[in-house]
Structure 1
Amino acid sequence: MNYLEILDDVKTHVEHLFQTRGDEQLVYHNLNHTEHVIKHAVEIGNHYQLSDRDFFIVQCASWFHDVGYLDGRDQHEKKGAEAAAIFLRALEVNEETIQEVQGCIMATKMPQSPKNLLQQIVCDADLYHLGSEDFKDRNKLMRKETMAVCNKEIDKNLWRLGTLQLLESHHYHTQYCIGKLSARKLDTIRTLKTQIQEAFNLNEPTPAVLEMPQQKSASKDKKKKEEKDARPEKGIETMFRITSNNHQRLSDMADNKAHIMISINSIILSVVLSVLLRKLEDNEHLILPTVTLLLICLVTMVFSILATRPSVPPGRFTPEEVLEKKPNLLFFGNFYRMSLRDYNDAMEKMMENRDYLYGSLIKDIYAQGIVLGRKYRLLRIAYNVFMFGIIVSVLGFIIAVAFEM
């Protein structure tokens, strides 16, 4: 299937619909808004390196998501999904892909309820402006459109109050948008609260305004969530990446050190067994230092091998453990015996839950640290045994030769 060719047809079709059937009242939900959504959907999709098919689904859903407004505001998502299905079937797109496009469109219905990454991308692209620089201009257009469609004036402060409630109830779904847009959205919320408070201090509060103190407790929880979402995601991801890379380098260094000890002691053992043991019958005074050297090399090799010997867990987890956020899905030892389908389902659940995702990253780094601690502890024992053992062996040989003379 030539996705690019079909997308060109979709673009031409949707542009034609807005140009021929567009309503002058729709100053927000128009072709310009649709093009903005396409732009941001592509931006988010590029971040997640979507396949050609997934990119097609996301862009196609973005083109059609507001086409339903051309037939009225009511159930516009359903109308847009139906319009997309009709057009795509005419282009002989398979039914499974069409259903996924429709699912992405329906997920934008407020309150948004995306069920997978593609739906999350379309939802975040649709409301991208809530955390962007052009929020103020887009919000003015939305108010203008609402007043035109409803044919009535909307007080600026009441509109601000409604906008504040929207911003506080909304949250981005993709980690990319959470990291990039949540901080600016939080600043917008603070600005709106300041503007509303100043307006209500100057004027008599309306009934709608009197509801705000009652919402203070709920708003506090939402504010905490927004502040949590506004954490420096890129900095956190960089920290995890750097820490994991450092642990990997330290693990490689430990393995190299263990290999050096194994190689050196293997050579010593080979020399002792092939050369020195043959001459012990004639040099009985060398028996004790030779046996000491053999034991030292053997013990050193054992600890070096223990330091590099892999430990493999059972490789299975249950759905109940995933719901309880127990298994670390980032470590192969926890899933290598699972089917791809079960692992994929578990990974999707983890990616949808930021606490579970970050918790798994923390567990992974902690597990790496435990393994590193064990490796270096055993290596230290091996090096100490080798260092002091060689000294004792050499002294033993010197004393044995001296007494024989």
Structure 2
Amino acid sequence: MNYYTLLDEIKQYVTAFFQTHANDKLIYHNLGHTENVVNAAIEIANHYRLSDLDYFVVVTAAWFHDIGYYTDPTRHEEKGAEEAAAFLKRQGIDETTIQTVANCIRATKLPQNPTTLLEKIVADADLFHLGTSRFTDTNKAMRKEFIELHNIDISKEEWRIKTIRLLESHHYHTDYAQLLLNDAKAKHLEKLKEKLVEKNPELKNQVAPIQTPGIKPKLKPLISDDDGISKAKQKNRPERGIETMFRITSGNHQRLSDMADSKAHIMISVNSIIISVLLSVLLKNLEQFPQYTVPAMLLLAVSLVTIVFAILATRPNIPKGTFTQTDINEKQVNLLFFGNFFKMSMEDYTSGMLQMMDDRDFLYRSLIKDVYSQGVVLGTKYQRLRISYNVFMYGLIVSVIAFSIAAILTT
């Protein structure tokens, strides 16, 4: 089954549904919000490199997760799951996949309690905005929608308190969302508390400093924080923004490397077929068609050079695999790359890793070296791959022209 084609049909179906069921009261839970959730789900799903089926489940759940608002706002998750199930059944999707999509939609219900990775991705995508620059605008839209739907003129202060409690009780479930969004979410929470105290000085004694990594402590939560992490550990932990940078950069490098390997595999496969055909068919018959000798040899050379550079692009280059205590003491070795330690004993490697983890400067230097080394290898790989593609493209053009000229001259 072509899941990507089906996702296009789902997009068209949901978009048409929102357009034909327009409701002026739904200021926030509209097509724009759904599209934002879909984009967030795709971003998180791409990070975890899901299979085609899992990717389909996540994106489908994101498209249908709030469609139930137009029939029953109080049970919109369940209604959305039912709507998704009905659509997927009409498309011939198996019951197991339908149930998985429905569970992902139900996982967005507050308080969120997802259990599987797919449910966690959809749950985090639904509240992705809490840790983004869109938070303020979406929060205002949610207040306006609440007033319209419930016909209750809730004050800004009351809504601010509700939002503070939501931010304090909420936590992202995937490590990707945690690293990417927690800092911004904490800043939004702190600003809300500062504004609450500014507008309501009588609450000052109820709202006191909190501890958030990377943010100067000012206000405490209105509800308890049970994350179980001591203040000392938070203080000594590397800033999450830096962790996010290294994680995303390394992940991007890995994905680019996988893409390069895939492109090189295409070049090797295609040109191997060309060489096989040339050797088995054309070259055996050159005595009958001598005019094709030069074009055939030219195409053979082009394919051979293309394969060579494609192989060079993917050929691994492994270092010696050892390090010394001097390398550790001088912080000259990157213990995060297997090529620097695969010949060392477990005891030596453990000792080196513990020394690196106890030294913040050594740790960050190693992370920097790891990202830099990945970039250098990636640059070399793509340079060779580009040569391979250029040789194949221009060589194929010249070869076809040569065959055409040879054919014309014999007629």
**In structure 2, what is the Cα distance between the partners aligned to 1:226 and 1:187?**
20
Equivalent residues in 2 for 1:137-156 (5 A)? Answer: 137-156=137-156
Q: 1:367 to 1:115 in 2, by over 3 A?
A: farther
* Residue among 322, 345, 350 paired with 1:366: 350
Contact 2:68 2:80 in 1 (8 A): yes
Cα displacement (A) at 1:22: 2.3
Q: How does 1:346-361 map to 2 (within 5 A)?
A: none
* Residue number in structure 2 paired with 1:245: 336
Q: Can you list the C-alpha shifts for 1:120-165, whole angstroms capped at 9, x where unaligned?
A: 1111110000000010000000000000011121110111010000
Shift of 1:74: 1.2
- How far off its partner does 1:245 sit? 2.9
**Contact 2:335/2:341, CA 8 A, preserved across alignment:** no
Q: Tell me, what secondary structure is at the counterpart of 2:110?
A: coil
Q: Find the aligned partners of 1:131 and 1:147 in 2 and give their Cα distance.
A: 24
Matched, 1:102 2:108: no
Partner SS state of residue 185, structure 2: helix
Aligned to 1:321: none
2:244 corresponds to which letter in structure 1? K
Match of 2:128 in 1: 128
Aligned length: 257
Match of 2:197 in 1: 197
Counterparts of residues 6-405 of structure 1 (less than 5 Å): 6-201=6-201, 219=223, 221=225, 231-232=240-241, 233-234=243-244, 244-246=335-337, 248-252=339-343, 254=344, 366=350
**1:78 CA displacement:** 0.4
1:248 Cα deviation (Å)? 4.6
The one-letter amino acid of 1:366's match is T
* TM-superposed deviation, 1:235: 6.2
**How far 1:50 moved relative to its partner?**
1.0
Bigger CA radius of gyration: 1
Distance 1:238 1:69, change over 3 A: closer
Residue identity over aligned pairs, in percent, reads 42
Structure 2 CA distance for partners of 1:198 and 1:83, relative to 1, 3 Å: same
Residues 122 and 239 of structure 1: CA distance in aligned 2, closer, same or farther (over 3 Å): closer
Hey, what's the Cα distance between the residues in 1 that align with 2:249 and 2:52?
A: 31
Aligned-partner residue type, residue 76 of structure 1: H
Taking the aligned partners of 2:74 and 2:244, their CA distance within structure 1 comes to: 39
- What is the TM-score of this pair, normalised by structure 1? 0.57
The DSSP-based 3-state class of the residue aligned with 1:74 is helix
- CA pair 56-246 structure 1, distance change in 2 beyond 3 A: closer
SS at match of 2:63: helix
* Structure with the higher helix share, 1 or 2: 1
Letter of the 2:240 counterpart: R
- 1:122–1:364 Cα change, 3 Å: farther
* 1:10 positional shift: 1.0
Matched-pair contact (CA < 8 Å) for 2:207–2:221: no
Q: Work out whether residues 335 and 353 of structure 2, in 8 Å CA contact, stay in contact via their aligned partners in 1.
A: no
Deviation at 1:364, TM superposition (A): 12
Structure 1 CA distance for aligned equivalents of residues 137 and 166 of structure 2: 16
1:19–1:197 Cα change, 3 Å: same
* Rounded Cα–Cα distance in structure 1 between residues aligned with 2:72 and 2:348: 51
- TM-score, normalised to structure 2, is 0.56
Q: Which residue of 1 aligns with 2:213?
A: none
Deviation of the 1:107 alpha carbon: 0.4
CA distance in structure 2 between the partners assigned to 1:125 and 1:150 by the alignment: 26
Q: Using a 3 Å threshold, how does the CA distance of structure 1 residues 56 and 212 change in structure 2: closer, same or farther?
A: same
For residues 214-256 of structure 1, what are the alpha-carbon distances to aligned partners after superposition, in whole Å with 9 as ceiling and x for unaligned? x96874535886995973433675999995435651343x5xx
Task: Pick closer, same or farther for the CA change 1:60–1:225 going to 2, 3 Å.
Answer: farther
- Cα deviation for residue 35 of structure 1 reads 0.4
Q: Distance in 2 between matches of 1:367 and 1:239?
A: 27
* C-alpha spacing 1:188/1:47, structure 2 compared with 1 (3 Å): same
User: Is contact 1:124-1:172 (8 Å) kept?
Assistant: yes
- For 2:348 and 2:11, the matched residues in 1 are separated by 44
Change (3 A) 1:365 1:83: farther
Measured in 1, the distance between the counterparts of 2:90 and 2:207 equals 51
